[in-house]
Structure 1
Amino acid sequence: MVESRFECFLCSLRTVNILLPSREAAYAHGIATAGVVFAVSQACREGYLTNCGCSRKKRPNSLHRDWIWGGCGDNIEYGYRFAQGFVDIREREKNHPRRSPGLARTLMNLHNNEAGRRALYSHPEIACKCHGVSGSCSLKTCWNQLASFRVTGERLRQRYDSSVRVRFNRRGTKLIRANSRFRKVHKEDFVYLEESPDYCVPNPETGSLGTVGRRCDKNSDDMGGCRLMCCDRGYKTRKAKLSERCHCKFHWCCFVKCKVCERIIYIHTCK
Protein backbone atom coordinates (compact mmCIF):
# COMPACT_ATOMS: atom_id res chain seq x y z
CA MET A 1 0.00 0.00 0.00
CA VAL A 2 2.86 2.38 0.84
CA GLU A 3 4.50 1.65 -2.52
CA SER A 4 1.30 2.35 -4.43
CA ARG A 5 0.77 5.62 -2.58
CA PHE A 6 4.35 6.68 -3.31
CA GLU A 7 3.98 5.93 -7.03
CA CYS A 8 0.75 7.90 -7.21
CA PHE A 9 2.43 10.80 -5.40
CA LEU A 10 5.23 10.85 -7.99
CA CYS A 11 2.65 10.78 -10.80
CA SER A 12 0.98 13.86 -9.32
CA LEU A 13 4.08 15.62 -7.98
CA ARG A 14 3.66 18.76 -10.08
CA THR A 15 0.19 19.47 -8.75
CA VAL A 16 0.29 18.05 -5.22
CA ASN A 17 0.49 20.58 -2.42
CA ILE A 18 3.54 19.39 -0.46
CA LEU A 19 2.75 21.90 2.27
CA LEU A 20 0.88 19.07 3.94
CA PRO A 21 3.12 17.60 6.68
CA SER A 22 2.91 14.12 5.18
CA ARG A 23 5.56 11.55 4.34
CA GLU A 24 5.61 12.86 0.75
CA ALA A 25 6.60 16.30 2.02
CA ALA A 26 9.32 14.62 4.09
CA TYR A 27 10.65 12.92 0.97
CA ALA A 28 10.53 16.16 -1.04
CA HIS A 29 12.56 18.02 1.61
CA GLY A 30 15.05 15.18 1.95
CA ILE A 31 15.79 14.67 -1.72
CA ALA A 32 15.97 18.41 -2.43
CA THR A 33 18.55 18.88 0.32
CA ALA A 34 20.50 15.84 -0.87
CA GLY A 35 20.54 17.42 -4.33
CA VAL A 36 22.19 20.55 -2.94
CA VAL A 37 24.89 18.49 -1.21
CA PHE A 38 25.48 16.49 -4.39
CA ALA A 39 25.73 19.52 -6.70
CA VAL A 40 27.96 21.61 -4.41
CA SER A 41 30.29 18.72 -3.54
CA GLN A 42 30.94 17.99 -7.20
CA ALA A 43 31.25 21.68 -8.09
CA CYS A 44 34.06 21.95 -5.52
CA ARG A 45 35.89 19.05 -7.15
CA GLU A 46 35.46 20.51 -10.64
CA GLY A 47 36.82 23.89 -9.55
CA TYR A 48 33.61 25.80 -10.23
CA LEU A 49 33.56 27.38 -6.75
CA THR A 50 36.22 29.67 -5.29
CA ASN A 51 35.50 28.83 -1.63
CA CYS A 52 36.31 25.13 -1.83
CA GLY A 53 38.39 22.57 -3.68
CA CYS A 54 39.08 18.84 -3.55
CA SER A 55 38.06 16.80 -0.54
CA ARG A 56 40.38 16.86 2.46
CA LYS A 57 38.96 13.73 4.01
CA LYS A 58 41.61 11.61 5.74
CA ARG A 59 42.74 8.25 4.47
CA PRO A 60 40.35 5.51 5.66
CA ASN A 61 41.82 2.70 7.73
CA SER A 62 40.21 0.12 5.45
CA LEU A 63 42.22 1.23 2.42
CA HIS A 64 45.01 -1.10 1.25
CA ARG A 65 48.30 0.10 2.72
CA ASP A 66 50.08 0.07 -0.65
CA TRP A 67 47.49 2.23 -2.35
CA ILE A 68 47.94 6.00 -2.55
CA TRP A 69 45.31 8.26 -0.99
CA GLY A 70 45.09 11.28 -3.26
CA GLY A 71 43.46 12.42 -6.43
CA CYS A 72 40.66 14.98 -6.25
CA GLY A 73 37.63 13.67 -4.45
CA ASP A 74 34.13 15.13 -4.08
CA ASN A 75 34.17 17.65 -1.24
CA ILE A 76 31.28 16.12 0.67
CA GLU A 77 32.25 17.93 3.87
CA TYR A 78 31.85 21.36 2.27
CA GLY A 79 28.67 20.32 0.46
CA TYR A 80 27.18 19.13 3.75
CA ARG A 81 28.03 22.37 5.56
CA PHE A 82 26.81 24.53 2.69
CA ALA A 83 23.47 22.72 2.49
CA GLN A 84 23.13 22.92 6.26
CA GLY A 85 23.31 26.72 6.15
CA PHE A 86 21.63 27.34 2.81
CA VAL A 87 18.62 25.04 3.18
CA ASP A 88 17.98 25.23 6.93
CA ILE A 89 18.21 29.00 7.26
CA ARG A 90 14.64 29.50 6.09
CA GLU A 91 13.33 27.20 8.81
CA ARG A 92 15.56 28.56 11.56
CA GLU A 93 14.52 32.17 10.91
CA LYS A 94 10.89 31.37 11.68
CA ASN A 95 9.72 32.44 15.11
CA HIS A 96 6.88 30.17 16.19
CA PRO A 97 5.19 30.13 19.60
CA ARG A 98 5.71 27.03 21.72
CA ARG A 99 3.66 23.97 20.77
CA SER A 100 2.28 25.67 17.63
CA PRO A 101 1.61 23.63 14.46
CA GLY A 102 4.11 25.88 12.70
CA LEU A 103 6.87 24.93 15.14
CA ALA A 104 6.10 21.23 14.70
CA ARG A 105 6.36 21.58 10.92
CA THR A 106 9.62 23.52 11.23
CA LEU A 107 11.14 20.77 13.40
CA MET A 108 9.89 18.17 10.92
CA ASN A 109 11.47 20.00 7.97
CA LEU A 110 14.78 20.43 9.77
CA HIS A 111 14.90 16.75 10.64
CA ASN A 112 14.13 15.68 7.09
CA ASN A 113 16.69 18.10 5.66
CA GLU A 114 19.30 16.47 7.86
CA ALA A 115 18.15 13.01 6.77
CA GLY A 116 18.64 14.05 3.15
CA ARG A 117 22.16 15.32 3.83
CA ARG A 118 23.14 12.18 5.71
CA ALA A 119 21.96 10.00 2.83
CA LEU A 120 25.09 11.30 1.05
CA TYR A 121 27.44 12.29 3.85
CA SER A 122 27.21 9.00 5.73
CA HIS A 123 27.58 6.78 2.66
CA PRO A 124 30.60 7.90 0.63
CA GLU A 125 32.39 5.61 -1.79
CA ILE A 126 36.06 5.08 -2.56
CA ALA A 127 37.05 5.38 -6.21
CA CYS A 128 40.44 4.18 -7.46
CA LYS A 129 42.53 4.49 -10.61
CA CYS A 130 45.17 1.97 -11.66
CA HIS A 131 48.75 2.88 -12.57
CA GLY A 132 51.50 0.71 -13.94
CA VAL A 133 52.94 -0.66 -17.15
CA SER A 134 50.26 -1.77 -19.64
CA GLY A 135 47.55 -1.25 -17.04
CA SER A 136 48.97 -3.87 -14.70
CA CYS A 137 47.42 -2.01 -11.74
CA SER A 138 50.51 -2.52 -9.63
CA LEU A 139 49.72 0.83 -8.04
CA LYS A 140 46.43 2.51 -7.27
CA THR A 141 45.44 6.06 -6.41
CA CYS A 142 42.16 6.33 -4.49
CA TRP A 143 39.94 9.20 -3.39
CA ASN A 144 36.61 9.97 -1.77
CA GLN A 145 33.61 10.01 -4.08
CA LEU A 146 29.85 10.45 -3.86
CA ALA A 147 27.58 7.58 -4.71
CA SER A 148 25.52 8.19 -7.85
CA PHE A 149 22.38 10.20 -7.24
CA ARG A 150 20.29 7.25 -8.42
CA VAL A 151 21.73 5.19 -5.55
CA THR A 152 21.03 8.06 -3.15
CA GLY A 153 17.49 8.41 -4.47
CA GLU A 154 16.84 4.73 -3.89
CA ARG A 155 18.21 5.05 -0.37
CA LEU A 156 15.83 7.94 0.27
CA ARG A 157 13.00 5.94 -1.24
CA GLN A 158 13.64 3.28 1.39
CA ARG A 159 13.57 6.01 4.04
CA TYR A 160 10.18 7.05 2.66
CA ASP A 161 8.86 3.50 3.01
CA SER A 162 9.99 3.31 6.63
CA SER A 163 9.24 6.91 7.66
CA VAL A 164 7.97 7.46 11.20
CA ARG A 165 4.97 9.48 12.33
CA VAL A 166 5.84 11.92 15.12
CA ARG A 167 4.19 14.36 17.54
CA PHE A 168 5.18 16.90 20.16
CA ASN A 169 6.46 15.70 23.50
CA ARG A 170 4.60 16.82 26.64
CA ARG A 171 6.67 19.98 27.01
CA GLY A 172 6.16 20.91 23.39
CA THR A 173 9.89 21.26 22.77
CA LYS A 174 10.71 18.40 20.40
CA LEU A 175 9.16 15.73 18.21
CA ILE A 176 8.86 12.14 19.38
CA ARG A 177 7.37 9.03 17.74
CA ALA A 178 3.58 9.11 17.76
CA ASN A 179 3.34 5.47 18.79
CA SER A 180 5.73 4.16 21.43
CA ARG A 181 5.45 0.64 19.98
CA PHE A 182 7.30 1.75 16.88
CA ARG A 183 11.09 1.89 16.71
CA LYS A 184 12.96 5.00 17.80
CA VAL A 185 13.60 7.79 15.33
CA HIS A 186 17.15 8.04 13.97
CA LYS A 187 18.75 11.00 12.27
CA GLU A 188 18.60 9.30 8.86
CA ASP A 189 14.87 8.52 9.14
CA PHE A 190 12.13 10.59 7.54
CA VAL A 191 9.43 11.84 9.91
CA TYR A 192 5.94 13.19 9.26
CA LEU A 193 3.06 14.67 11.25
CA GLU A 194 -0.04 13.65 9.29
CA GLU A 195 -1.04 10.63 7.23
CA SER A 196 -0.97 11.06 3.45
CA PRO A 197 -4.14 11.93 1.55
CA ASP A 198 -5.33 9.75 -1.30
CA TYR A 199 -3.53 11.04 -4.39
CA CYS A 200 -5.46 8.67 -6.64
CA VAL A 201 -8.63 10.81 -6.64
CA PRO A 202 -9.09 14.55 -7.21
CA ASN A 203 -8.93 16.64 -4.06
CA PRO A 204 -9.01 20.45 -4.29
CA GLU A 205 -7.92 20.81 -0.67
CA THR A 206 -4.61 19.03 -1.27
CA GLY A 207 -4.20 20.19 -4.87
CA SER A 208 -4.25 16.66 -6.26
CA LEU A 209 -5.78 16.19 -9.72
CA GLY A 210 -5.92 12.44 -9.27
CA THR A 211 -5.03 9.96 -12.00
CA VAL A 212 -8.36 9.70 -13.86
CA GLY A 213 -7.70 10.05 -17.58
CA ARG A 214 -3.93 9.60 -17.29
CA ARG A 215 -2.26 7.46 -19.97
CA CYS A 216 -0.67 4.27 -18.73
CA ASP A 217 1.19 1.19 -19.98
CA LYS A 218 -0.77 -2.00 -19.44
CA ASN A 219 2.36 -4.13 -19.87
CA SER A 220 4.42 -2.37 -17.20
CA ASP A 221 4.62 -2.97 -13.47
CA ASP A 222 6.52 0.28 -12.91
CA MET A 223 5.23 3.72 -12.00
CA GLY A 224 3.68 4.23 -15.43
CA GLY A 225 1.91 0.88 -15.41
CA CYS A 226 -1.88 0.80 -15.43
CA ARG A 227 -2.12 -1.06 -12.12
CA LEU A 228 -0.25 1.55 -10.11
CA MET A 229 -1.21 4.61 -12.13
CA CYS A 230 -4.90 3.75 -12.05
CA CYS A 231 -4.87 2.70 -8.39
CA ASP A 232 -6.50 -0.65 -9.24
CA ARG A 233 -9.59 1.10 -10.69
CA GLY A 234 -8.97 -0.36 -14.14
CA TYR A 235 -8.39 1.39 -17.46
CA LYS A 236 -10.05 2.12 -20.79
CA THR A 237 -8.53 1.26 -24.16
CA ARG A 238 -9.10 3.02 -27.49
CA LYS A 239 -7.62 2.69 -30.96
CA ALA A 240 -5.89 5.56 -32.69
CA LYS A 241 -4.19 6.05 -36.05
CA LEU A 242 -0.61 7.28 -35.83
CA SER A 243 1.16 8.89 -38.80
CA GLU A 244 4.94 8.97 -38.78
CA ARG A 245 7.89 9.26 -41.15
CA CYS A 246 9.33 6.00 -42.40
CA HIS A 247 11.57 4.44 -45.09
CA CYS A 248 13.84 7.46 -45.05
CA LYS A 249 16.66 7.62 -47.63
CA PHE A 250 19.57 9.98 -48.04
CA HIS A 251 19.90 11.50 -51.51
CA TRP A 252 23.10 13.02 -52.86
CA CYS A 253 23.42 15.89 -52.27
CA CYS A 254 22.08 16.58 -49.69
CA PHE A 255 18.62 15.81 -48.41
CA VAL A 256 16.63 13.03 -46.77
CA LYS A 257 13.36 11.89 -48.29
CA CYS A 258 10.84 9.91 -46.27
CA LYS A 259 7.49 8.30 -46.77
CA VAL A 260 4.56 8.68 -44.39
CA CYS A 261 3.43 5.46 -42.76
CA GLU A 262 0.30 4.92 -40.72
CA ARG A 263 -0.21 2.37 -38.00
CA ILE A 264 -2.85 1.58 -35.44
CA ILE A 265 -1.94 2.01 -31.78
CA TYR A 266 -3.85 1.28 -28.58
CA ILE A 267 -4.04 4.01 -25.95
CA HIS A 268 -4.81 3.07 -22.36
CA THR A 269 -6.17 5.65 -19.90
CA CYS A 270 -7.16 5.30 -16.26
CA LYS A 271 -10.81 5.08 -15.31
Structure 2
Amino acid sequence: MFGFSKITGSLQILNRSTTGISSASSPDDARASSRLYCAFVILLLIITPRVDSSWWYIGALGARVICDNVPGLVNKQRQLCQKYPDVMQSISEGGKEWIRECQHQFRHHRWNCSTLDRDHTVFGRVMQRSSREAAFVYAISSAGVVYAITRACSQGELKTCNCDPLKRGRAKDERGEFDWGGCSDNINYGIKFAKAFIDAKERTVKDARALVNLHNNRCGRTSVKRFMKLECKCHGVSGSCALRTCWLAMSDFRKTGDYLRKKYNGAIEVTVNQDGTGFTVANKDFRNATKNDLVYFENSPDYCLLDKAA
Protein backbone atom coordinates (compact mmCIF):
# COMPACT_ATOMS: atom_id res chain seq x y z
CA MET A 1 0.00 0.00 0.00
CA PHE A 2 2.76 2.45 0.89
CA GLY A 3 5.36 0.87 -1.37
CA PHE A 4 6.72 -1.01 1.63
CA SER A 5 8.65 -3.45 -0.54
CA LYS A 6 10.88 -0.63 -1.73
CA ILE A 7 11.09 0.87 1.73
CA THR A 8 12.06 -2.46 3.25
CA GLY A 9 14.85 -2.87 0.73
CA SER A 10 16.20 0.54 1.63
CA LEU A 11 15.99 -0.30 5.32
CA GLN A 12 18.01 -3.46 4.77
CA ILE A 13 20.71 -1.47 2.97
CA LEU A 14 20.79 1.00 5.84
CA ASN A 15 20.96 -1.76 8.45
CA ARG A 16 23.93 -3.37 6.71
CA SER A 17 25.71 -0.05 6.35
CA THR A 18 25.31 0.72 10.06
CA THR A 19 26.34 -2.66 11.47
CA GLY A 20 29.35 -1.15 13.18
CA ILE A 21 27.18 1.34 15.01
CA SER A 22 24.48 -1.18 15.93
CA SER A 23 26.97 -3.66 17.38
CA ALA A 24 27.76 -1.23 20.16
CA SER A 25 24.15 -1.18 21.30
CA SER A 26 22.26 -3.69 23.40
CA PRO A 27 19.60 -5.94 21.78
CA ASP A 28 16.88 -3.94 23.54
CA ASP A 29 18.28 -0.69 22.18
CA ALA A 30 18.45 -2.17 18.69
CA ARG A 31 14.86 -3.33 18.83
CA ALA A 32 13.70 0.04 20.14
CA SER A 33 15.60 1.84 17.38
CA SER A 34 14.10 -0.45 14.76
CA ARG A 35 10.55 0.20 15.99
CA LEU A 36 11.13 3.94 16.09
CA TYR A 37 12.65 3.85 12.61
CA CYS A 38 9.70 2.06 11.02
CA ALA A 39 7.28 4.29 12.88
CA PHE A 40 8.90 7.46 11.61
CA VAL A 41 8.91 6.16 8.04
CA ILE A 42 5.11 5.99 8.19
CA LEU A 43 4.94 9.36 9.94
CA LEU A 44 6.96 11.00 7.20
CA LEU A 45 4.66 9.52 4.57
CA ILE A 46 1.73 11.17 6.32
CA ILE A 47 3.00 14.64 7.12
CA THR A 48 5.55 15.52 4.41
CA PRO A 49 3.67 15.50 1.10
CA ARG A 50 6.14 17.66 -0.79
CA VAL A 51 9.48 16.09 0.11
CA ASP A 52 11.67 13.93 -2.10
CA SER A 53 12.79 10.38 -1.34
CA SER A 54 15.75 11.45 0.84
CA TRP A 55 13.75 10.51 3.94
CA TRP A 56 14.53 6.84 3.18
CA TYR A 57 18.06 7.35 4.38
CA ILE A 58 17.73 9.21 7.64
CA GLY A 59 15.71 6.93 9.90
CA ALA A 60 18.53 4.91 11.45
CA LEU A 61 20.21 8.02 12.83
CA GLY A 62 17.76 8.67 15.68
CA ALA A 63 14.70 10.79 16.37
CA ARG A 64 16.54 14.10 16.70
CA VAL A 65 18.32 13.69 13.37
CA ILE A 66 15.05 12.72 11.68
CA CYS A 67 13.27 15.77 13.00
CA ASP A 68 16.10 18.13 12.11
CA ASN A 69 16.48 16.97 8.54
CA VAL A 70 13.03 16.19 7.20
CA PRO A 71 11.96 18.83 4.65
CA GLY A 72 8.40 20.01 5.12
CA LEU A 73 8.32 20.22 8.90
CA VAL A 74 7.91 23.74 10.24
CA ASN A 75 9.82 24.75 13.36
CA LYS A 76 6.95 24.03 15.75
CA GLN A 77 6.48 20.53 14.34
CA ARG A 78 10.19 19.85 14.49
CA GLN A 79 10.34 20.95 18.13
CA LEU A 80 7.44 18.67 19.08
CA CYS A 81 8.99 15.84 17.11
CA GLN A 82 12.26 16.18 18.99
CA LYS A 83 10.66 16.56 22.40
CA TYR A 84 8.07 13.78 22.14
CA PRO A 85 9.44 10.89 20.05
CA ASP A 86 7.13 8.42 21.80
CA VAL A 87 4.09 10.45 20.73
CA MET A 88 5.44 10.57 17.18
CA GLN A 89 5.62 6.79 17.20
CA SER A 90 1.98 6.56 18.28
CA ILE A 91 0.97 8.96 15.52
CA SER A 92 2.80 7.00 12.88
CA GLU A 93 1.48 3.64 14.01
CA GLY A 94 -2.04 5.08 13.89
CA GLY A 95 -1.45 6.19 10.31
CA LYS A 96 -2.20 2.77 8.88
CA GLU A 97 -5.50 2.70 10.75
CA TRP A 98 -6.97 5.91 9.36
CA ILE A 99 -5.82 5.08 5.84
CA ARG A 100 -7.56 1.70 6.08
CA GLU A 101 -10.68 3.48 7.31
CA CYS A 102 -10.51 5.95 4.45
CA GLN A 103 -10.25 3.08 1.98
CA HIS A 104 -13.18 1.33 3.62
CA GLN A 105 -15.39 4.41 3.41
CA PHE A 106 -14.62 4.96 -0.28
CA ARG A 107 -14.43 1.34 -1.39
CA HIS A 108 -17.33 1.84 -3.84
CA HIS A 109 -16.35 5.34 -4.94
CA ARG A 110 -14.50 6.38 -8.07
CA TRP A 111 -11.80 7.73 -5.83
CA ASN A 112 -11.21 4.90 -3.37
CA CYS A 113 -8.56 6.53 -1.19
CA SER A 114 -5.94 4.47 -2.98
CA THR A 115 -2.31 5.01 -2.12
CA LEU A 116 0.40 5.10 -4.75
CA ASP A 117 3.17 2.55 -4.59
CA ARG A 118 6.65 4.11 -4.48
CA ASP A 119 5.14 7.58 -4.16
CA HIS A 120 6.17 9.61 -1.10
CA THR A 121 3.02 11.72 -1.31
CA VAL A 122 0.92 8.63 -0.40
CA PHE A 123 -2.16 9.79 -2.33
CA GLY A 124 -0.49 11.52 -5.26
CA ARG A 125 -1.24 14.93 -6.69
CA VAL A 126 -4.96 14.62 -6.08
CA MET A 127 -4.40 16.13 -2.63
CA GLN A 128 -3.05 19.32 -4.16
CA ARG A 129 -6.63 20.41 -4.78
CA SER A 130 -8.80 21.68 -1.97
CA SER A 131 -11.53 19.27 -3.04
CA ARG A 132 -14.15 17.32 -1.10
CA GLU A 133 -11.80 14.34 -1.07
CA ALA A 134 -8.96 16.42 0.35
CA ALA A 135 -11.34 17.74 3.01
CA PHE A 136 -12.13 14.18 4.06
CA VAL A 137 -8.48 13.14 4.16
CA TYR A 138 -7.51 16.11 6.32
CA ALA A 139 -10.37 15.36 8.69
CA ILE A 140 -9.88 11.58 8.94
CA SER A 141 -6.11 11.93 9.36
CA SER A 142 -6.55 14.46 12.17
CA ALA A 143 -9.10 12.18 13.80
CA GLY A 144 -6.68 9.29 13.45
CA VAL A 145 -3.95 11.22 15.26
CA VAL A 146 -6.31 12.05 18.13
CA TYR A 147 -7.40 8.43 18.36
CA ALA A 148 -3.85 7.05 18.29
CA ILE A 149 -2.49 9.44 20.91
CA THR A 150 -5.46 9.00 23.24
CA ARG A 151 -5.23 5.23 23.01
CA ALA A 152 -1.51 5.31 23.71
CA CYS A 153 -2.16 7.45 26.80
CA SER A 154 -4.60 4.91 28.21
CA GLN A 155 -2.25 2.03 27.48
CA GLY A 156 0.57 3.69 29.39
CA GLU A 157 2.80 4.03 26.34
CA LEU A 158 3.50 7.76 26.71
CA LYS A 159 5.51 9.58 29.34
CA THR A 160 3.48 12.79 29.21
CA CYS A 161 -0.06 11.49 29.71
CA ASN A 162 -2.11 8.75 31.29
CA CYS A 163 -5.78 8.19 32.01
CA ASP A 164 -7.99 11.27 32.24
CA PRO A 165 -7.08 12.84 35.62
CA LEU A 166 -10.39 14.73 35.82
CA LYS A 167 -12.56 11.63 35.98
CA ARG A 168 -12.42 11.11 39.74
CA GLY A 169 -14.99 11.03 42.52
CA ARG A 170 -18.72 10.69 41.96
CA ALA A 171 -20.88 11.69 39.01
CA LYS A 172 -24.41 11.22 37.75
CA ASP A 173 -26.16 10.19 34.53
CA GLU A 174 -29.73 9.28 33.58
CA ARG A 175 -29.42 6.00 35.49
CA GLY A 176 -28.31 7.65 38.69
CA GLU A 177 -25.05 8.19 40.53
CA PHE A 178 -21.83 6.31 39.89
CA ASP A 179 -18.16 6.38 40.89
CA TRP A 180 -15.48 7.24 38.39
CA GLY A 181 -13.03 4.38 38.19
CA GLY A 182 -11.01 2.37 35.74
CA CYS A 183 -9.16 4.34 33.08
CA SER A 184 -11.06 7.03 31.24
CA ASP A 185 -9.53 7.84 27.86
CA ASN A 186 -7.71 11.17 28.00
CA ILE A 187 -9.32 12.53 24.84
CA ASN A 188 -8.52 16.16 25.68
CA TYR A 189 -4.79 15.44 25.66
CA GLY A 190 -5.09 13.73 22.29
CA ILE A 191 -7.00 16.67 20.83
CA LYS A 192 -4.59 19.23 22.28
CA PHE A 193 -1.46 17.52 20.96
CA ALA A 194 -2.99 16.81 17.55
CA LYS A 195 -3.98 20.45 17.20
CA ALA A 196 -0.53 21.71 18.17
CA PHE A 197 1.30 19.34 15.84
CA ILE A 198 -0.90 19.09 12.76
CA ASP A 199 -2.12 22.69 12.64
CA ALA A 200 1.36 24.17 13.07
CA LYS A 201 2.17 24.02 9.38
CA GLU A 202 -1.09 25.60 8.25
CA ARG A 203 -0.65 28.45 10.73
CA THR A 204 2.59 29.55 9.10
CA VAL A 205 0.70 30.84 6.06
CA LYS A 206 -2.51 32.78 5.52
CA ASP A 207 -4.24 31.63 2.37
CA ALA A 208 -7.41 29.90 1.30
CA ARG A 209 -6.02 26.39 1.45
CA ALA A 210 -4.56 26.79 4.93
CA LEU A 211 -7.83 28.24 6.24
CA VAL A 212 -9.88 25.38 4.83
CA ASN A 213 -7.40 22.77 6.04
CA LEU A 214 -7.51 24.16 9.58
CA HIS A 215 -11.29 24.00 9.54
CA ASN A 216 -11.34 20.39 8.34
CA ASN A 217 -8.60 19.40 10.80
CA ARG A 218 -10.76 20.67 13.63
CA CYS A 219 -13.81 18.85 12.33
CA GLY A 220 -11.82 15.62 12.38
CA ARG A 221 -10.40 16.14 15.85
CA THR A 222 -13.73 16.85 17.48
CA SER A 223 -15.46 13.96 15.74
CA VAL A 224 -13.58 11.46 17.91
CA LYS A 225 -14.82 13.11 21.11
CA ARG A 226 -18.38 13.05 19.76
CA PHE A 227 -18.45 9.26 20.11
CA MET A 228 -17.01 8.89 23.59
CA LYS A 229 -19.12 6.40 25.54
CA LEU A 230 -19.68 5.69 29.22
CA GLU A 231 -18.78 2.13 30.16
CA CYS A 232 -19.70 0.78 33.59
CA LYS A 233 -19.17 -2.21 35.82
CA CYS A 234 -21.93 -3.16 38.24
CA HIS A 235 -21.40 -4.02 41.90
CA GLY A 236 -23.98 -5.47 44.25
CA VAL A 237 -25.79 -8.64 45.17
CA SER A 238 -26.25 -10.85 42.10
CA GLY A 239 -25.08 -8.03 39.86
CA SER A 240 -27.95 -5.80 40.91
CA CYS A 241 -25.99 -2.72 39.86
CA ALA A 242 -26.73 -0.99 43.15
CA LEU A 243 -23.28 0.53 42.75
CA ARG A 244 -21.55 1.37 39.49
CA THR A 245 -17.97 2.13 38.58
CA CYS A 246 -17.72 3.89 35.23
CA TRP A 247 -15.19 5.32 32.82
CA LEU A 248 -15.24 7.13 29.48
CA ALA A 249 -13.92 5.25 26.46
CA MET A 250 -13.53 6.00 22.78
CA SER A 251 -15.83 4.13 20.44
CA ASP A 252 -14.50 2.05 17.57
CA PHE A 253 -12.83 4.26 14.96
CA ARG A 254 -15.39 3.04 12.42
CA LYS A 255 -18.00 5.33 13.99
CA THR A 256 -15.77 8.31 13.37
CA GLY A 257 -15.20 7.15 9.80
CA ASP A 258 -18.92 6.72 9.18
CA TYR A 259 -19.62 10.18 10.60
CA LEU A 260 -16.97 11.90 8.49
CA ARG A 261 -18.17 10.04 5.38
CA LYS A 262 -21.61 11.57 5.92
CA LYS A 263 -19.96 14.95 6.34
CA TYR A 264 -18.17 14.36 3.04
CA ASN A 265 -21.51 13.67 1.35
CA GLY A 266 -22.80 17.01 2.64
CA ALA A 267 -19.55 18.97 2.28
CA ILE A 268 -20.09 22.66 1.60
CA GLU A 269 -18.34 24.62 -1.13
CA VAL A 270 -17.06 27.93 0.17
CA THR A 271 -15.46 31.11 -1.08
CA VAL A 272 -12.59 32.45 0.99
CA ASN A 273 -12.32 36.15 1.81
CA GLN A 274 -9.62 38.09 0.02
CA ASP A 275 -7.66 38.58 3.23
CA GLY A 276 -7.82 34.86 3.99
CA THR A 277 -9.44 35.32 7.39
CA GLY A 278 -12.76 33.61 6.75
CA PHE A 279 -15.06 32.08 4.18
CA THR A 280 -18.67 32.18 3.07
CA VAL A 281 -20.83 29.62 1.31
CA ALA A 282 -20.27 29.73 -2.45
CA ASN A 283 -23.91 29.08 -3.32
CA LYS A 284 -26.13 31.62 -1.60
CA ASP A 285 -29.04 29.16 -1.74
CA PHE A 286 -27.17 26.81 0.61
CA ARG A 287 -26.91 27.15 4.36
CA ASN A 288 -23.74 28.50 5.93
CA ALA A 289 -21.08 26.04 6.98
CA THR A 290 -20.86 25.20 10.67
CA LYS A 291 -17.80 24.13 12.61
CA ASN A 292 -18.88 20.50 12.14
CA ASP A 293 -19.11 20.65 8.33
CA LEU A 294 -16.38 19.71 5.89
CA VAL A 295 -15.63 22.52 3.46
CA TYR A 296 -13.84 22.80 0.12
CA PHE A 297 -13.37 25.41 -2.61
CA GLU A 298 -12.11 23.49 -5.65
CA ASN A 299 -13.89 20.95 -7.82
CA SER A 300 -12.85 17.32 -7.68
CA PRO A 301 -11.10 15.83 -10.71
CA ASP A 302 -12.94 13.21 -12.75
CA TYR A 303 -10.94 10.28 -11.28
CA CYS A 304 -11.58 8.27 -14.44
CA LEU A 305 -10.31 10.48 -17.23
CA LEU A 306 -6.74 11.74 -17.34
CA ASP A 307 -6.59 15.15 -15.69
CA LYS A 308 -3.21 16.82 -16.06
CA ALA A 309 -4.12 19.38 -13.40
CA ALA A 310 -4.83 16.71 -10.78
Structure 2: any 5+ residue segments left out of the alignment? 1-104, 117-122
Deviations 1:33-76 (A, max 9, x none): 00000011111111111111111345665353332222211100
**TM-score between the two structures when normalised by the length of structure 2:** 0.58
The residue identity in structure 2 corresponding to 1:167 is T
The residue identity in structure 1 corresponding to 2:155 is E
Which position in structure 2 is the counterpart of 1:246?
none
85, 106, 129: which one pairs with 2:196? 85
Change (3 A) 1:202 1:4: farther
CA–CA distance in 1 between the matches of 2:245 and 2:186? 17
Change (3 A) 1:33 1:172: closer
Alignment of 1:88-237 (within 5 A): 88-94=199-205, 96=206, 103-133=207-237, 135-169=239-273, 172-206=276-310
Does residue 1:54 correspond to 2:156, yes or no? no
Aligned length: 197
Which position in structure 2 is the counterpart of 1:42?
151
128, 131, 141: which one pairs with 1:22? 131
Which position in structure 1 is the counterpart of 2:91?
none
SS in structure 1 of the partner of residue 173 of structure 2: coil
Which position in structure 2 is the counterpart of 1:64?
175
Deviations 1:67-87 (A, max 9, x none): 222221110010010001011
Whether the 8 Å contact between 2:230 and 2:247 is mirrored in structure 1 is yes
Greater displacement, 193-202 / 69-78: 193-202
Structure 1: any 5+ residue segments left out of the alignment? 97-102, 207-271
Identity among equivalent positions (%) equals: 44
Whether the 8 Å contact between 2:171 and 2:177 is mirrored in structure 1 is no
Structure whose alpha-carbon radius of gyration is higher: 1
Deviations 1:74-116 (A, max 9, x none): 100100100010110111123x4xxxxxx00000100000000
CA–CA distance in 2 between the matches of 1:192 and 1:5? 22
Deviations 1:171-211 (A, max 9, x none): 543111112221111111100011111112333432xxxxx
Which position in structure 2 is the counterpart of 1:8?
110
Whether the 8 Å contact between 2:267 and 2:295 is mirrored in structure 1 is yes
SS in structure 1 of the partner of residue 255 of structure 2: helix
Change (3 A) 1:151 1:86: same
The residue identity in structure 2 corresponding to 1:91 is E
Change (3 A) 1:117 1:185: same
Greater displacement, 67-76 / 27-36: 67-76
Shift of 1:6: 7.3
Whether the 8 Å contact between 2:171 and 2:178 is mirrored in structure 1 is no
CA–CA distance in 1 between the matches of 2:113 and 2:276? 36
Greater share of residues in strand: 1
Deviations 1:105-149 (A, max 9, x none): 000100000000011123321111223455444432111111210
Shift of 1:4: 8.5
The one of the two structures with greater contact order (alpha-carbon pairs below 8 A, sep at least 6) is: 1
Deviations 1:215-265 (A, max 9, x none): xxxxxxxxxxxxxxxxxxxxxxxxxxxxxxxxxxxxxxxxxxxxxxxxxxx
Change (3 A) 1:167 1:50: same
Which position in structure 2 is the counterpart of 1:249?
none
- The Cα RMSD (Å) is 2.4
